[in-house]
Amino acid sequence: LRPRCGAPRSCPPGLLALMAPGLALMATFSLPSQAGDRRALPVEKPPGVKGRTLILLDVNTKSPVRIISENFLSLQLDPSIIHDGWLDFLSSRRLVTLARGLAPAFLRFAGKRTDFLQFHNVKNPAKSRGGPGPDYYLKNYEDDIVRSDIALDKQKGCKIAQHPDIMLELQREKAAQMHLVLLKEQFSNTYSNLTLTARSLDKLYNFADCSGLHLIFALNALRRNPNNSWNSSNALSLLKYSASKKYNISWELGNEPNNYRTLIGRSVNGSQLGKDYIQLRSLLQLIRTYSRANLYGPNIGRPRKNVITLLEGLMPFVAGRLALWLPDVQQLPGHTGGLGTWSSVLWLNTLGLLASQGIDVVVRHSFLDHGHNHLVDQNFNPLPDYWLSLLYKRLIGPKVLAIHVAGLQRKPRPGRVIRDKLRIYAHCTSYHNHNYVRGSITLYIINLHRSRKKIKLAGTLRDKIVHQYLLQPYGKDGLHSKLVQLNGQPLAMVDDGTLPELKPRPLRAGRTLVIPPLTMSFYVVKNVNALACRYR
């Protein structure tokens, strides 16, 4: 059965979906760190015949091959932001503006520290003990953070803060110190407990709500009774508090239960996990606010033999109790990446691959300051992957179209497949973009060659006006640059509350598309009147 997910096709993808009244697994994406990995970028010999090859491109505009969620590109925040203090700064106007740019999307609050998270329903534990907070400067600016949260965003009535520079400097010092602690925990695979206060939960929800993101909160699944059943007492306290505030939240239980043996020395098998989800479903049904809330999971990493066994044990138990959705097991393709525009090439290709495979939602780990994979840095500046994600959100709709390509290689040459280095994907243009009428389509193309490629639009795309959005590195660092340019203009925020206008370069009707080497580009083909794209 297809799970009931509220809005049409809003369900995240994965191996299993249990939502109201069942659940769903989503695909998470994280680029590996580049530390110690300085692999060479693709190098190609002089183009020769291949460089002169004209590629003919057409798109099947009659019907989509896949339809993904409008929340396809979604975000994740790691609970480590409680440890390093960044959660207190989620009310920053700049961060909220950046997050709003990527809406609609899910905001998944989860990660390895999910199962060490404890909720305490007190506003400020340090003050309730009668002493200052654990950090030497908390007493100096904690109240300032609270007061700054009172500033209201006129558009939505959200709590938006303008934090003084000195507060951000102190926070970056704290985060740098805590980063060493977090790395030590990661390498030793032993994690300390985290305390989430009511005030912190308020700030997390305020950020999601103000940004137009739907919060998915992963509950601690490692609180276990002597018989290994889930101890739900702390989760119930969190649920009751959230319901009292009327927070619109979806829920998840645990993070990567297939790795529990390495974390706590004992495993949770599939049937026990099924019982845990049934227990959580029962708790939600007891609370009016969440009686029909979506329940996602289990989040599974590395779908190999032990994971398949876990899921097989889970499925027989929940069958007949919860609505099930079991698409094919999908494994994210491996990547090497890191900072700079080069990681954006990998990110865009991953989005294209997973959309074409019918994955509904890809959750990007992480929005802010986690490892080398974040979209926004500690200075609240957007990195190349953010700008790519923003452009994707503005131009790409949920309907995936089939492409037809000819002329990729004039003469077959073993071992030299141009197709692998030129990636082309097509979607209906986003319905939310009012600059384009329905029926327009958007191509996105990755050229991994060190030579330019020429593409001639054919068939239904012939002789149409095209808007080009060409993303290239900006600055002397090339593909390792943290800055990008759009059609030759560097991308930067106008101010803390304003994103730049993403201006296209109009191309005359019938013009051949010239794709520069090692670049990413979006092309909106206007007024195609594609049957697949006329209606939602």
d(CA 63, CA 532): 4
> Is residue 185 exposed (0-12), middle (13-18) or buried (19+ Cβ within 10 Å)?
middle
Angle at CA of residue 394, ends 418 and 403, nearest 5° = 35
d(CA 248, CA 8): 18
Q: What is the pLDDT of residues 362-384, one digit of tens each?
A: 999 889 975 567 899 989 999 99
- Which pLDDT band holds residue 201 (cuts at 50, 70, 90)? very high
Q: Do 264 and 219 form a contact (C-beta atoms < 8 A)?
A: no
pLDDT averaged over every residue in the chain? 79
Who's near 139: CB < 8 A, 6+ residues apart? 132, 133
d(CA 129, CA 235): 23
DSSP conformational letter for 430: P
pLDDT in the model for residue 134? 36
d(CA 436, CA 522): 14
Residue 115 has pLDDT above 70, yes or no: yes
- Of 6-10, 180-184, 209-213, 302-306, which gets the smallest average pLDDT? 6-10
pLDDT in the model for residue 292? 92
Q: Do 96 and 385 form a contact (C-beta atoms < 8 A)?
A: no
pLDDT in the model for residue 302? 58
Higher-confidence position of 106 and 337: 106
Residue whose C-alpha is closest to residue 158's, from 82, 236, 97, 218? 97
For the residues 134-146, what does the mean pLDDT come to?
45
> Is residue 433 exposed (0-12), middle (13-18) or buried (19+ Cβ within 10 Å)?
middle
Higher-confidence position of 30 and 289: 289
Residue 150 has pLDDT above 70, yes or no: no
pLDDT in the model for residue 413? 52
For the residues 485-497, what does the mean pLDDT come to?
96
Full DSSP string of 471-483: EEE-STTGGG-S-
For the residues 62-73, what does the mean pLDDT come to?
95
Angle at CA of residue 222, ends 218 and 225, nearest 5° = 130
pLDDT in the model for residue 508? 93
* Strand pairing class (422-429; 73-77): unpaired
For the residues 329-338, what does the mean pLDDT come to?
35
Higher-confidence position of 165 and 288: 288
Tokens of 311: 């899921």
pLDDT in the model for residue 127? 44
pLDDT in the model for residue 315? 65
* 3-class secondary-structure state, position 248: coil
Half-sphere exposure of 530 toward its Cβ, with a 13 Å CA cutoff? 34
Q: Do 13 and 25 form a contact (C-beta atoms < 8 A)?
A: yes
End-to-end CA distance of the chain: 22
3-state helix, strand, coil in the chain (%, to 5): 30, 20, 45
Residue 38 has pLDDT above 60, yes or no: no
Higher-confidence position of 468 and 185: 468
Helix H segments across 101-255? 125-128, 138-148, 165-188, 198-211, 233-244
Residue whose C-alpha is closest to residue 483's, from 336, 379, 368, 339? 339
- Of 34-43, 45-54, 122-131, which gets the smallest average pLDDT? 34-43
Angle at CA of residue 188, ends 186 and 189, nearest 5° = 60
Q: What is the pLDDT of residues 404-452, one digit of tens each?
A: 998 765 555 544 444 578 999 999 999 999 999 999 999 999 998 888 9
Higher-confidence position of 89 and 409: 89
- Which pLDDT band holds residue 253 (cuts at 50, 70, 90)? very high
- Which pLDDT band holds residue 303 (cuts at 50, 70, 90)? low
For the residues 83-93, what does the mean pLDDT come to?
90
For the residues 442-463, what does the mean pLDDT come to?
93
Report the share of the chain in percent with pLDDT over 70. Answer: 74
pLDDT in the model for residue 27? 59
Most confident of 12-21, 214-223, 270-279, 314-323: 214-223
What distances in angstroms separate CA 298 from CA 32, 74, 153, 206, 254, one per listed residue?
Answer: 22, 17, 36, 26, 7
Q: Phi first, then psi: what are they for 276, rounded to 5°?
A: -65, -40
* 3-class secondary-structure state, position 168: helix
Most confident of 156-170, 262-276, 293-307, 506-520: 506-520
pLDDT in the model for residue 479? 78
* 3-class secondary-structure state, position 454: strand
- Which pLDDT band holds residue 21 (cuts at 50, 70, 90)? very low
Full DSSP string of 21-51: TBB---EEE-PPP-TT--PPPP-----HHHH
pLDDT in the model for residue 104? 96
